[in-house]
Structures are given as structure tokens and as C-alpha cells.
A and B are shown apart, each in its own frame.
Chain A
Amino acid sequence: MELFLQTLVDGLLIGGLIIVIGVGFSLCFGVMHIIDFAVGEWVMLGAYTAFWMVRYLGRDPFLYLPVIFFLYLAIGYLIYPLIHRAVSGRRHNPALMGLVFTFGLASLIKGGALTAWGFHVRSVTTWLSGESLALGVAVVPALRFAGFAFGVLATVAFMLFLKWSKIGVAIRAMAQDRVMAELLGVDTNRVSALVYAMYTGLTGMAGVLIGALFSIHAGMGLKYTTFAFFVVVLAGMGYVPGVIPAAFLLGLLQSFVTVYVSGRYTLLAVFFVLYLTLLVRPRGLLGRGW
């Protein structure tokens, strides 16, 4: 029973963190129809940035969360025009060209990180590392809880932004009809760049938490790419609210399979669920994707 509860808590906590990656990714897909193969690499870069900032500037990595958000916001904003070029113009299959482009981007980022920072495994320590709270019989690691809380808060803030702000409404409108939004005065290229930038910013921030929780190395991205893909398919491609249940499902699936079956089958279980979803509910668990 104790183990069951602990497993439940572990799963939910990780799910909360995955939401952050999923939300940006799903939005990016929903609005611009871009599947970013580099999603895991943004996580990795965020983690590394936190590591180097702590190395050179000291202090706690959590302090740098806003800095990293804005840093990756800026980077995403600057990169977007290239992606835009890849997916527009007279290309044979624009959406797929975007996929290939980000595929190349992922390889580029990963290779760059490997070359610059090598194969060393780094880690950062925060003031929460190693601390934990007791929740009944289960232990809640403080850092994970912080990650979870951050994930949920960031997502709620983000959803509120989408629901109520002017840009938020414009983003949702654009997801439905880009041309019409443009006719109403929305600079759709800039808003797209902004969406992409928010996505990279959020993902970079998630990277800080993930880096603090696990260890940091150049190859760490792959796993989060898997997660992001899994989450958007399960949520329904482009259906942002679906990300929340999907991410929790993924977290729980991981922890329960690891504890009650075997850690070796965790990823397989994930892939199996992904396959089943594509087979029976291709538009996501809630049937709301496109």
C-alpha cells in the first residue's frame, strides 16, 4: 500500500513536469502545425544553461528560471523566421519540410552540445535538492514537488493567458484561420514567432527543473522528445488542454510499470499505448485533435 501510494505520487509529480513541455509543443503544433523534433534539445539546452550559470555566477539555479525563460524566448524568436521559410513558400510538402528542418536542428543542437561540452555528466544542486516532505506514508521529494508545482502553475498561467489576453485570443484565432486573423490586423508572422518563442522559453525552463532533478548531458534530449510526441498524440494533436491528462497518464504509466512490471518495459509500455492510441483514437483520448 505504501509502495502503491509512493508510486502514485512519483507518477503524478513527473507528470506535472512533463506538462510544461507538452503545452508549448502542442500549441506550437496547433497554431503553426510545426512538429518540433528539437523539443528535447531545448530541454537539454535549458539544463546546460542553468548548469553554466551556476558554475560561473553561483547561487541557486531556480533564481535563473526567469533569465532562462527570456533567453530561450529570444532564441526561439530569432530562429522562427528560418522555420517559417522552411514551411512556407513553394515547397512540395511544407508541413513535412518543417519536420525535416527541426530534425536537422535537433541534430545540430545535440552535436553542438556534445562538441562543446563533451560527454561529461553534470548536475546542479538547488536548495531543495535532497529535501523532502512527508505525505502520509509517501515521501514527496521537495524538488519534484517544486517541479510539479511549477509545471502546473506555468500551465495554468499559460492557459489563462490564452483564454483572456488579446494575444491569447489572437493565437487561438490563428490556429483556426490564419488568413482571417491576418485580415483583422494580426501580424501572424510575429505572433507565430512569439508562440514559438514561448514554447522554447517554457521548454528551456522545464530543462532547468529536469536538469536539477536528474543529471545533465548532451544526449538527454531524446527521452523528452519521446515524451512530447507521446503527450501530443494522446492529447490530440494541437489540442492544448488535452496535454494535462496525457502528461499525468504518461507519468503514472512510467512509475507503475517500473515498480510493478519492470523498468525495462516502461518505454515499451509507452510505445504500446502510443500505438494503441493511433489505432483506436487517432484524434487523442478526448477526440479533439485534428
Chain B
Amino acid sequence: MLVLEEVSAAYDGVQVLYDISLRLEQGEIVCVIGANGAGKTTILRTISGLLAPIAGRIWFENTRIDRLPPHAIARRGIAHVPEGRRIFDQLTVEENLRMGAFLLQDWHQVREAFDHVYQIFPILFQRRGQRAGTLSGGEQQMLAIARGLMSNPKLLLLDEPSLGLAPKVIDMLFEVILNLNRLGRTILLVEQNASRALEIAHRAYVLEVGRVTLSGPARELQENEYVRRAYLGM
């Protein structure tokens, strides 16, 4: 479904990704783990078009999408829930969600999407008229994910969704991710919380200083001695 071929990326001439190759099949949860600053976020930014790769190709459903502007990539069915929530805090919860459904043309579809996310996150329904900036951190994270779901994307890119959330909320969050996947969503998950991520993922990549150093089924990586030491703290 999504294929990265030897992708390299740089900020202001400083290279941070080196020849990243990565692939995602329909219906998979794939997670990328790695240290702070390894370049996980950068991978997602390159996929969603926020950063043009300096080399390499990206394919989504057999069409090349590197070089496309982000909105065009979003139009093809990739939703990026970025690091740090980035909700529109002056807008109400409902308006935030409507922005999520920006690409939907049909009024019925929008209604359905609303019903769907309110069903997943009932708390958002209660808060629908509230200015998003006044939500608690956890609620904001849920809103950010819900907003990403509104466009009914084929592929969901999640960047550290558990960041700053209370453990209870994190548990629920991973539950939601699993559920989404069961409903057929393909998910690329970037997480600091490697152990939790590996638990729900099918496959995983380990990123170190901009390079993929290990990859394979999540189960195998969980057993891998190096991974256990470096990322799972065992």
C-alpha cells in the first residue's frame, strides 16, 4: 500500500534521513521506534508531503506521491496526526472535526463521520461546543486523532499519540488504535513508548540516527536482545 524506496531527507541542508526503505501492507499496523531525534517524525513528514525528500521515491497505492503538496496527498487518503496535537484551539471541538472532514464532499458522509468519531470518543460529543484550547491534554489528543479519522482515511499516520497522556488514557488509546485496525484501517505508528507499540503492531522498524537498523515482525523484535536492551529497557 505504501512504499518508501531509499528516501533521504534534510532540514536546511542538514541531512536527517538516510536511504530509508519501508513498506506497509493493507490492513497492517506498522510501528517505527527509535530514540529522540532519530528521525521518526521526519519520516511521517516526508510521507505526508510536509518535507520534500532530497532523494528516493514514495509510492502510495501504486502512484508516486513524493513531490505532491500535502493537501494533494491528504486527498488520496492519508491522514497525518502530527506530533504535538496541533488542534485549532480558537475553534470549537465541532469546528475542529469539520476541518477534519474538509475533504468530504457529501453531507451524509460528514454526518456519518461525526457519528462514528463521537461513538469512539463520547467525551468529544459532550464537549462539542467548547473551544478546543480549553480541553485537557488528553482530550486534545483524542480530538487530534478524531480529527484525523474524520476524512475516513485509508492510511493513518500517528506521531506519538500517547505523548503526555495519563497511563489510563494511554491504555484506552491503544485500545482505540487496535479497534480502528480491526475496522480495516492501515496504521503507521510512531511511538516512544516502544513496548506498548510493539504489542499492538504487526511489524516494526527500528530507526537510529536517520537509518533503519532493524526491521521485522513485532513479535520478533520484542524478543530481540538489542531491542530489549536499548528500547524496552530490559
Contact = CB atoms under 8 A, between A and B. Distances in A.
A173 interface: yes
B25 to A, nearest CB: 23
Interface stretch (A103-111, A183-191, A269-277): A183-191
A182 B71 contact: yes
Nearest to B133: A176
Contacts of B79: 183-184
B50 A179 contact: yes
B86 A184 contact: no
Interface string B89-112: 111000110111011000000000
B125 interface: no
A187 B91 contact: no
A166 B88 contact: no
B135 to A, nearest CB: 15
B211 interface: no
Contact of A184 (B69, B72, B90, B103): B103
Interface in A170-219: 170, 172-173, 176-177, 179-189
Given A173-B88, A173-B91, A183 B70 contact: yes
A169 B95 contact: yes
B69 A166 contact: no
A188 B69 CA distance: 10
B185 interface: no
A180 B82 contact: yes
A187 B70 CA distance: 8
A186 B71 contact: yes
Contacts of A179: 50, 70, 82, 86
A185 B91 contact: no
The winner among B74, B103, B151 for most chain A CB atoms within 10 A is: B74
A185 B90 contact: no
Contacts of B90: 172, 176
Interface string B60-80: 000000000111101100011
Contacts, number: 67
Contact of B82 (A169, A183, A187, A188): A183
A185 B88 contact: no
B48 interface: yes
Given A166-B102, A173-B88, A177-B86, A187 B147 contact: no
B80 A183 contact: yes
A288 to B, nearest CB: 10
A184 B91 contact: no
B99 A184 contact: yes
Nearest to A190: B71
A89 B89 CA distance: 27
B51 to A, nearest CB: 11
Contacts of A186: 71, 99, 102
Contacts of B69: 182, 187, 189
A135 B147 CA distance: 52
B92 to A, nearest CB: 10
Q: Which of A172, A182, A185, A187 has the most CB of B within 10 A?
A: A185
B48 to A, nearest CB: 6
Contacts of A180: 82, 86-88
Interface string B142-158: 00000100010000000
A169 B98 CA distance: 8
B89 A166 contact: no
A180 B90 CA distance: 14
B88 A172 contact: yes
7 contacts: A172-B88, A172-B91, A172-B95, A180-B86, A183-B82, A184-B147, A187-B71
Interface of A: 166, 169-170, 172-173, 176-177, 179-189
Interface of B: 48, 50, 69-72, 74-75, 79-80, 82, 86-91, 95-96, 98-100, 102-103, 147, 151
Given A180-B87, A182-B69, 16 more contacts: A169-B99, A172-B91, A173-B88, A173-B95, A173-B96, A176-B91, A177-B86, A184-B74, A184-B151, A185-B71, A185-B74, A185-B75, A185-B102, A185-B103, A186-B99, A189-B69
| For the complex of A and B, 7 pairs with smallest distance between CB atoms | A185-B74, A185-B103, A180-B86, A182-B70, A187-B71, A173-B88, A176-B88
